[in-house]
Structure 1
């Protein structure tokens, strides 16, 4: 007897985040008569809106959470199924879902993202920030909190410590400076005064549309039967994830942040365990009051707090696909992909956080699991799937020529270009820096007289000029430090 739950379709995309949705939309546009299934664990998908091409490689966009029905209405050939993956049988070109579906595909693209890299598991006092549900849980817990401890030094940690109000924040970072993923120590010093400054008034309207979902509501085909799964594998937060949610504690203060540098978590204690622990010391930082949880750091300090936020990054979410298959996995646990976004399994592609780019990269590009690259990889994976299906040649997209990223930290516009932190250059580089306190921080990375990277903080208006100088590889040796002379209009100079 035929399996009534089995479906056959040309394309299946796994993941309702930016990479998966970008891939799905491109496939739907390119093949309007072919059936496409988008499989997502979360009740909402993430879509790119207000997309703007800033320059040749720089792009800016908003991320909007949408019910699945919106993409289905926009593209009649797309069907969204809400469920987790149970098993992939790559040789049979078959995908089994947790809610009993059997999907047969011709081409499959895995865009399952990453999962929080928690420093401790199964603790009710540790909250990992990754998806929309965890952000809402953070808001709920903060409303009753006087002090929290944030662990991590990446983008979400940077945004969180700045946004939280009415609650003391202890921020533990393993590096010598904040934002080590994005900045050098000089840029960190430029930003630090903003942590204690009054924040500008926020606009009353939020630029992201918001939707509420009933998990039993038929927004997608076959709602997930496991109500806890969306929390575990929901799509990652958008670049403006804190917009529209109030991150406020119980205190009257605006925001107070204390940073503990060069330390990691040694141990987490419940209140009972801490009070009975022989290692307990009269450290004033732990306070005499009774806190729900205590955290001991490797620098010897102990803090009591209401809860701990783990913002220590993500690991590629490959687990549902590995058993019984022959994927080649990179050292960072991502699925290795070539310059056509193909994995080692036939007809299986991958894009976004779940994959690791294993082609020979451009000298000024590196993979960082960021929103811009998730969109680029998802879109390019769809183009590659189409090219392979039609037996057409396709070149690596120009977006992989130069690393570029626009974001905002501490209310400053931040642009990162090329080898912005001199990644992989060793001692073979020099730096030029221009800093105006409270206004801008400009850092240029030069190698053999040619610009290979830059960090721009503030409204510098230099991004397009610097992008061109990197792409053209013009010899700038003759200009020396005059390159960053504020009295010279560099944009006109190199036009």
Structure 2
């Protein structure tokens, strides 16, 4: 991540004084990898990247006064003061810069007295310094990283360094961003991390809720507290977590696939998980991940989520701390409608006028009794069934949040709508990077890695993008991070630990592969994808303790043909072989 300067500096003086410029990349945060100071004002911006210009090495700053004066070099941080007549005392506390255009410049970190007239010697510091002097003085450059934070819609530059910063484009050109309120902010490196937005099945319908950030999750909890029945549409990670966590409310779950969790599982894994939907909820398994919290916000009232505003992105265990309970007194009550989508949504008055028949919650598969209860909204499915409910949850995936950044900027965009980035997270525009859900990885991937818009990859990309920006600024080379060698995601579904590795669903392998399975009902489900005797991917559900061994086998691409079915034999400790 980008660092923050802790060297307070104040620049004072006349309008001809030289300026201080930060050269380390500024990061604009939002979406799933927000770094600092998130504002919730919806903004848009325009980048005006200029041609690159050469500049002196950033580790030196030079102060120049009278051109005839001899130079003295100090290797300690400098304090500058000066007057054409009077001596000035200088201390080692945060620096104050004063002086006119003819004053000599003195820099020292020990108590000192500086005197001189227009022919006094000039002091030069080799470390980042605060600068004052005449209009001919060179620009002082600080190598302390600056962090710029903004909201998840558009960047809003906020310097976290207590310094007055300006730029001199004659020495180094700094690009700018323009926010919706017409404010301009300068940058040399910019990273777009605005995440993604939900694909709502119907935009603008007050009874259709999406869950994509902390504010929308809070709004969902408030609506659920007054609900007796809801319809969940979608078959991804959010839908899987919701249908298991919701209590005291009937759930109609509509999916377009033959089995649940199609994004992560095959039909066998789905059958392994389904009994959990009717069983009483168990004590949640311990979360072994690092958790991040915000102090002082526990008692603050949260705003109701709006479709055009984005709050903090949802990370792992997003539902922890939320009370996901309806008005009824039971645990799970979930009915699954497979191979269907939503055809139409009817409001109550419209449905009455249509004189159509809705169904009650199916207690048994053959139950087709009409529902006499009047519901606020009705969902008509493509299989011809209609269910009344209190509201609908749209959990049908996300799209990259690129719209605020495309106007006036010629970004290269991938087929999935994300900003294309190369192996160093650079977009097609100079000095602009992207990371997380907003971007599309356009480099040639590892045979066992692929992009998915998950919180794990968003965090990895953000971390790597910061390293790439710093390396580019310092003129250093950097290799593609190891996290892009193997796809790996750890999560929790139906209170089981779930690990997916590599080509876990044989993505892109065609028919030239085989599967090996091991299943213990209610305890574990292990699936391995093999190709030409080599492990290409795996799905591990439950406490299998196989993830580290399988990671190594996938990365090493060792020929495992000789081991056959013993590879998953529970009576053999596979770690003894490898």
Specify the alignment match of 2:551 in structure 1: 467
1:235 matched to 2:319: no
Query: 1:246-274 deviations in whole A, cap 9, x for unaligned?
Result: 00000011111111111111000001111
* Cα separation, partners in 2 of 1:95 and 1:230, compared to 1, 3 Å: farther
Query: Is the CA contact (8 Å cut-off) linking 1:263 and 1:297 kept in structure 2?
Result: yes
Structure with higher helix content:
1
Distance 1:296 1:115 in 2: 25
Runs (4+) off by over 4 Å: 7-10, 202-208, 212-216, 226-231, 282-286
Specify the alignment match of 2:452 in structure 1: 368
Identify the match of residue 171 of structure 1 among 246, 250, 253: 253
Identify the match of residue 150 of structure 2 among 39, 46, 58: 39
1:21 matched to 2:35: yes
Identify the match of residue 501 of structure 2 among 411, 417, 420: 417
Identify the match of residue 373 of structure 2 among 289, 304, 311: 289
- Please give the residue correspondences for 1:84-483 in structure 2 after superposition, counting only pairs within 5 Å: 93-201=175-283, 209=293, 211-212=297-298, 232-277=309-354, 280-281=356-357, 283-284=359-360, 287-483=371-567
Query: Is the CA contact (8 Å cut-off) linking 1:32 and 1:77 kept in structure 2?
Result: no
Unpaired stretches in structure 1, ≥5 consecutive residues: 25-30, 43-67, 80-90, 217-225
Output the TM-score relative to the length of structure 1: 0.81
Give the C-alpha shift of residue 92 in structure 1. Answer: 8.0
Query: Is the CA contact (8 Å cut-off) linking 1:20 and 1:110 kept in structure 2?
Result: no
Query: Is the CA contact (8 Å cut-off) linking 1:8 and 1:103 kept in structure 2?
Result: no
Q: What secondary structure is seen at the aligned counterpart in 1 of 2:259?
A: coil
Query: Is the CA contact (8 Å cut-off) linking 2:215 and 2:312 kept in structure 1?
Result: no
Larger Rg: 2
Specify the alignment match of 2:88 in structure 1: none
* Cα separation, partners in 2 of 1:228 and 1:253, compared to 1, 3 Å: closer
Output the TM-score relative to the length of structure 2: 0.70
Query: Is the CA contact (8 Å cut-off) linking 2:412 and 2:428 kept in structure 1?
Result: yes
CA RMSD of aligned residues (A): 2.9
Specify the alignment match of 1:12 in structure 2: 26
Give the C-alpha shift of residue 323 in structure 1. Answer: 0.8
Higher relative contact order (CA 8 A, sep 6+): 1
* Cα separation, partners in 2 of 1:235 and 1:439, compared to 1, 3 Å: same
Unpaired stretches in structure 2, ≥5 consecutive residues: 1-14, 39-141, 164-172, 362-369
Distance 1:204 1:159 in 2: 16
Query: Is the CA contact (8 Å cut-off) linking 1:15 and 1:113 kept in structure 2?
Result: no
Query: Is the CA contact (8 Å cut-off) linking 2:196 and 2:400 kept in structure 1?
Result: yes
Query: 1:200-219 deviations in whole A, cap 9, x for unaligned?
Result: 23599996635248699xxx
Distance 1:357 1:78 in 2: 36
Specify the alignment match of 2:43 in structure 1: none
Query: Is the CA contact (8 Å cut-off) linking 1:402 and 1:418 kept in structure 2?
Result: yes
Give the C-alpha shift of residue 15 in structure 1. Answer: 2.8
* Cα separation, partners in 2 of 1:113 and 1:387, compared to 1, 3 Å: same
Query: 1:208-238 deviations in whole A, cap 9, x for unaligned?
Result: 635248699xxxxxxxxx9977962223212
Q: What secondary structure is seen at the aligned counterpart in 2 of 1:482?
A: helix
Give the C-alpha shift of residue 483 in structure 1. Answer: 1.0
Q: What secondary structure is seen at the aligned counterpart in 2 of 1:417?
A: strand
Structure with higher strand content:
1
Query: Is the CA contact (8 Å cut-off) linking 1:215 and 1:227 kept in structure 2?
Result: no
Task: Give the number of aligned pairs.
Answer: 431
Query: Is the CA contact (8 Å cut-off) linking 1:12 and 1:39 kept in structure 2?
Result: no
